[in-house]
Amino acid sequence: MISKDFFIALDLLEKEKKINKEFFISALESALTSAYKKYFKEARSATVKLNPEKNTIKILAYKTVVEEVEDPDKEISLEDAKKLKASHKVGDIISEEVTPKEFDRIAAQTARQVIMQKLREAERDSLGQELSSKSDQITTAIVRRMDIKNVYVEISGTDAEGVLQPNDQIPGEKFSVGDHLKVCIKKVRETNYGSQVQVTRTSTSFVRKLFELEVPEIENGDIEIKSIVREPGVRTKIAVFSKDKNVDPVGVCVGNRGSRINAILNELKVEKIDVIPYSEDVFEYIASALSPAEVISVEINEAEKSSKVIVPDNKLSLAIGKEGLNVRLAAKLTGWKIDVNSESKAEKEKSEILKEVPTTFDKDGEDLDLFGDIQEIE
């Protein structure tokens, strides 16, 4: 029953959709068994077996060998079983083909329904797995609809729906249906309607991937992103490093006339980006991290991993930033606690200390440095 074209079609599906043929065969056997029992009101234990090698579909009914038959539809006596085969014993399962001729039409209809359903399921699972493997990767999306809180997008090149929840939207962003935008894949969850992808534009991974897209030297490893911190919609600080001393990592990331950094800024809209050079020298690194402010000197306390930074009086507010944002991001970027003071305040405090303790000596009669390890920043 059913021509070999049916099995050829399964082979083609396996090649084109990359779905194992056994996946379809197992599902078809189960569905056809149910269809057979339902249509023919069959009480016997039966199952449908597909044989791709012989291009056949057979229905086999099963009976268990027992001493005394209580259910004739499912059991056969040992005496009758031995008539079929002398070696049969109690507990054996005996099968016989019971394929009705009129089952062809039912089988064809059922097979069509099952294949379409399993195709959708398999493609959905495959898409879900593919997108899950791209977690933290950047992709292009198209805005399809919006509600009060969420923005729903179509992931380009797929049928998957992505959702930008409020905490994944850059503050102040406005969207319109049809907008093209870049998003970072956060995670994938399965729904009754298929794979729904949670995407984000507020993670540090999003900015990192934007830099990788615009700066080939980062993608190929010539330049390394050492650290990145972000206040979405306000400011990002990114520390970059090159092992080649002849390469300016900041200049490479900014690009000719700012071409590379401007492409990233255009995607982030109002958000500012400070690209700073990473340095093993803690003094230099902390000073650079407070960009765009100028730094006069940096004092560090290794034991507490803290620092005191002196800046010109007219640069204090710039160094601290609105509501302390600049110094807070600098501290997160470097991993050091940073306390910022103006030059005049630092001089005043130093003078007051000197008045209270005119001269301080150690046990060998040497002057003590009351101000810790300080380095002037040129």
| Residue 142: CATH number of its domain | 2.40.50.140
- 159 and 124 inside one domain: no
- 273 and 286 inside one domain: no
- In-domain check, residue 149: yes
Peptide bond into 277 cis (omega under 30): no
Higher pLDDT, 290 or 42: 290
CB 238 within 8 A of CB 225: yes
- 283 and 271 inside one domain: no
The pLDDT confidence band at residue 377, using thresholds 50, 70 and 90, is: low
pTM over 0.85: no
H-run or E-run covering 190: strand 180-191
Q: Which three-class secondary structure state does DSSP give residue 257? A: helix
Six-digit token pair at 298?
A: 């940096």
- 70 and 35 inside one domain: yes
- 270 and 283 inside one domain: no
- In-domain check, residue 208: no
Whether the predicted pLDDT of 361 surpasses 50: no
- 225 and 273 inside one domain: yes
Residue-level pLDDT at 52? 78
- In-domain check, residue 209: no
Higher pLDDT, 326 or 17: 326
Higher pLDDT, 132 or 220: 220
**What residue has token string 């950047």?**
138
- In-domain check, residue 336: yes
* Ranges 123-132, 143-152, 278-287: which has the least confidence: 123-132
- In-domain check, residue 8: yes
Residue range 210-261, pLDDT digits in tens:
999 999 999 898 999 999 999 999 999 999 999 898 999 999 999 999 999 9
- In-domain check, residue 36: yes
The pLDDT confidence band at residue 365, using thresholds 50, 70 and 90, is: very low
- 169 and 90 inside one domain: no
Six-digit token pair at 88?
A: 């049969």
- 188 and 119 inside one domain: no
Residue-level pLDDT at 122? 62
CB 250 within 8 A of CB 240: yes
Question: Exposure of 155 by Cβ count < 10 A (0-12 exposed, 13-18 middle, 19+ buried)?
Answer: buried
Residue range 78-126, pLDDT digits in tens:
888 888 888 889 888 888 777 776 676 777 777 777 777 767 666 666 5
- 125 and 163 inside one domain: no
* Residue of 55, 75, 49 whose CA lies nearest to 63: 75
d(CA 158, CA 128): 11
d(CA 341, CA 117): 68
d(CA 60, CA 45): 8
- Number of domain units in the chain: 4
CA 8 to mean position of chain CA atoms: 38
d(CA 18, CA 196): 22
Whether the predicted pLDDT of 152 surpasses 90: yes
Peptide bond into 249 cis (omega under 30): no
The domain containing residue 338 runs over which residues?
Answer: 279-378
Choosing from 278, 298, 327, the residue where a domain stops is 278
List beta partners, residue 173. none
Residue-level pLDDT at 287? 94
Six-digit token pair at 238?
A: 């990114």
* Residue of 171, 169, 182 whose CA lies nearest to 137: 182
CB 97 within 8 A of CB 59: yes
- In-domain check, residue 332: yes
- 178 and 270 inside one domain: no
Whether the predicted pLDDT of 199 surpasses 80: yes
Choosing from 254, 278, 302, the residue where a domain stops is 278
- 358 and 283 inside one domain: yes
- 243 and 348 inside one domain: no
CB 113 within 8 A of CB 168: no
* Residue of 68, 46, 42 whose CA lies nearest to 58: 46
Choosing from 86, 101, 131, the residue where a domain stops is 131
**What residue has token string 């490479």?**
252
Six-digit token pair at 164?
A: 């930008």
- In-domain check, residue 374: yes
Six-digit token pair at 146?
A: 């919006």
pLDDT mean across residues, the chain: 82
Six-digit token pair at 65?
A: 């060998």
